[in-house]
């Protein structure tokens, strides 16, 4: 027992000696230093700012679309026969009624001549029957009544026969006219499908050539079904809505037109609605089958408040901006309601006023009440000036 007490006392003495040695070797911290007034806590944060502008803001809806011919016709023959002539050049511009091809017409001409001859024979017999009836009627009671009735019935029979003959003549003449194939519409011809010398039939599925009307031309595009109420609301006010067609790859404008059709049903698989725009295509920059972006001008927000889109921040409570407090070099967090993002600018419904200053760059180190150092101020568009800087301003939900 006495041995255990000696061992414990020795351990305590050794620990006390070690602590004393560590205190002698540790550096002297010196007196407490006051906080550096130039530390990051109070140092101004360099930022870029911009003014809240007031101007007209066009609201666009963008949809992917495909260019289609305003009218597209596959030209078929309506009679059977040998194709004797092709009267067009591939890629040629033709007008409605222009001759495209001819079919051997000799058989159909003979049928017309035969029908005409049959009609002439029946007309001659009708003339003779009418003369006989007039003679019988002139004899009065001296002629049997049955004979008069028979003559009258013969006249009616021959009159009906002449009408049948006339119908046969018309049919034969129509069939003969089909041997000259004309363009039903004005447009541009495509590749020739049949060469001269071939036998063509009315039942052929390929046709002779496809004619596509390209002036005007149609653009079919789709938009989300959520846009349909706003589109119909605008169409109740105006008969059509402007549409700009944009190159899907380069983003350059190709043509402008108007909305011609909103489809009568929504695609349940994609939740989209199809729309058709018609463009004049005067410079032929739109081509059937081309993929484009259709930009529908839904409306224009007059005298709207806008800030650069980079000023909008998002937090648990929604969208907000850092507004530079008037007369100070500090910022305050201001909640805002963003209507949409247009052409890299945010359209503000509430939360800001025209002429106020917001931070557009350097927000990473900002907090409510942080001091700032304005490194650059972005100049805005003068109030009331329409946005014409880009033909392709697209409205999207924030």
The third-level CATH classification (topology) of the domain covering 62-70+212-300 is Elongation Factor Tu (Ef-tu); domain 3 (2.40.30)
End-to-end CA distance of the chain: 82
Q: What is the DSSP string of 201-270?
A: -TT-SS-SEEEEEEEEEEEEEEEEGGGHHHHHHHHHHSS--EEEEEETTT--EEEEEEEEEEEEEEETTT
Output the pLDDT for position 147.
Answer: 83
Q: How confident is the model at residue 158 (pLDDT cuts 50, 70, 90)?
A: very high
Span 80-103+179-207 CATH architecture: Beta Barrel (2.40)
- Secondary structure class of 173 (helix, strand, coil): helix
Contact 347, 301 (CB under 8 A): yes
Is residue 387 predicted with pLDDT exceeding 60?
no
Highest mean pLDDT among 9-23, 131-145, 266-280: 266-280
Output the pLDDT for position 40.
Answer: 54
81-86 β-sheet, strand order: 180-182, 99-103, 81-86, 199-200
Output the pLDDT for position 393.
Answer: 40
Mean pLDDT of 81-87: 96
CA dihedral 96, 100, 103, 108 (to 10 degrees): 10
Is residue 204 predicted with pLDDT exceeding 50?
yes
Structure tokens at 125: 């017999």
The answer to whether domain 45-57+302-388 and domain 62-70+212-300 are alike in fold is no
Highest mean pLDDT among 34-43, 164-173, 332-341: 164-173
Structure tokens at 271: 């939740």
Pick the CATH number of 45-57+302-388 from 3.40.50.300, 1.10.10.1590, 3.40.109.10, 2.40.420.20: 2.40.420.20
Output the pLDDT for position 344.
Answer: 85
Output the pLDDT for position 138.
Answer: 81
Output the pLDDT for position 246.
Answer: 94
Q: How confident is the model at residue 251 (pLDDT cuts 50, 70, 90)?
A: confident
Strand 313-315 relative to strand 318-324, pairing: antiparallel
Output the pLDDT for position 109.
Answer: 97
Mean pLDDT of 103-129: 96
CB within 8 Å of 18: residues ≥ 6 apart: none
Q: What is the pLDDT of residues 5-22, one digit of tens each?
A: 344 444 544 454 444 444
Q: What is the pLDDT of residues 138-157, one digit of tens each?
A: 887 777 778 888 989 999 99
Is residue 114 predicted with pLDDT exceeding 50?
yes
Q: What is the pLDDT of residues 41-61, one digit of tens each?
A: 568 999 999 999 999 988 889
Pick the CATH number of 105-178 from 1.10.287, 1.20.1270, 1.10.10, 3.30.200: 1.10.287
Q: How confident is the model at residue 379 (pLDDT cuts 50, 70, 90)?
A: low
Mean pLDDT of 226-235: 94
Mean pLDDT of 228-241: 93
Is residue 322 predicted with pLDDT exceeding 90?
yes
In angstroms, the CA 94 to CA 356 distance is 62
Mean pLDDT of 371-376: 88
Domain map (residue ranges) of the chain: 45-57+302-388, 62-70+212-300, 80-103+179-207, 105-178
Is residue 228 predicted with pLDDT exceeding 60?
yes
Structure tokens at 98: 């222009």
Q: How confident is the model at residue 137 (pLDDT cuts 50, 70, 90)?
A: confident
Mean pLDDT of 236-261: 92
């Amino acid at each position: 027992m006495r041995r255990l007490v000696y061992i414990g006392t020795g351990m305590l003495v050794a620990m006390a000696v070690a602590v004393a040695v560590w205190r002698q070797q540790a550096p002297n911290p010196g007196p407490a230093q006051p906080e550096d007034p130039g530390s990051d806590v109070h140092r101004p944060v360099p930022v870029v700012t911009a003014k809240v502008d007031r101007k007209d803001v066009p609201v666009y809806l963008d949809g992917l679309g495909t260019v289609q011919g305003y009218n597209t016709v596959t030209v078929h023959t309506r009679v059977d026969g040998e194709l004797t002539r092709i009267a067009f050049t591939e890629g040629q511009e033709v007008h409605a009624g222009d001759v495209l091809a001819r079919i051997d017409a000799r058989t159909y001409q003979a049928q017309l001549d035969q029908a005409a001859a049959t009609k002439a024979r029946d007309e001659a017999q009708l003339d003779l029957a009418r003369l006989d009836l007039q003679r019988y009627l002139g004899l009065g009671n001296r002629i049997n009544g049955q004979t008069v009735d028979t003559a009258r019935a013969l006249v009616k029979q021959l009159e009906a026969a002449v009408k049948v003959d006339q119908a046969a003549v018309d049919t034969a003449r129509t069939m003969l006219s089909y041997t000259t194939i004309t363009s039903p519409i004005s447009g541009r011809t495509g590749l020739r499908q049949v060469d001269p010398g071939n036998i063509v039939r009315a039942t052929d599925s390929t046709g002779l050539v496809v004619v596509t009307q390209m002036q005007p031309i149609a653009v079919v595009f789709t938009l989300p079904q959520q846009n349909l109420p706003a589109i119909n609301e605008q169409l109740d006010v105006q008969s059509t809505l402007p549409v700009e067609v944009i190159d899907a790859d380069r983003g350059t404008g190709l043509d402008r037109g108007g909305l011609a059709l909103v489809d009568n049903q929504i695609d349940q698989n994609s939740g989209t609605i199809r729309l058709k725009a018609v463009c004049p295509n005067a410079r032929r920059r739109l081509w059937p089958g081309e993929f484009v972006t259709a930009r529908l001008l839904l409306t224009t927000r007059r005298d709207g408040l806008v800030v650069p889109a980079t000023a909008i921040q998002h937090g648990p409570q929604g969208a907000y901006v850092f507004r530079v407090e008037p007369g100070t070099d500090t910022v305050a967090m201001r909640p805002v309601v963003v209507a949409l993002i247009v052409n890299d600018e945010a359209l503000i419904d509430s939360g800001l006023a025209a002429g106020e200053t917001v931070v557009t760059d350097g927000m990473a180190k900002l907090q409510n009440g942080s001091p700032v150092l304005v490194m650059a101020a972005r100049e805005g568009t003068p109030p009331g000036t329409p946005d014409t800087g880009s033909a392709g301003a697209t409205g999207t939900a924030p």
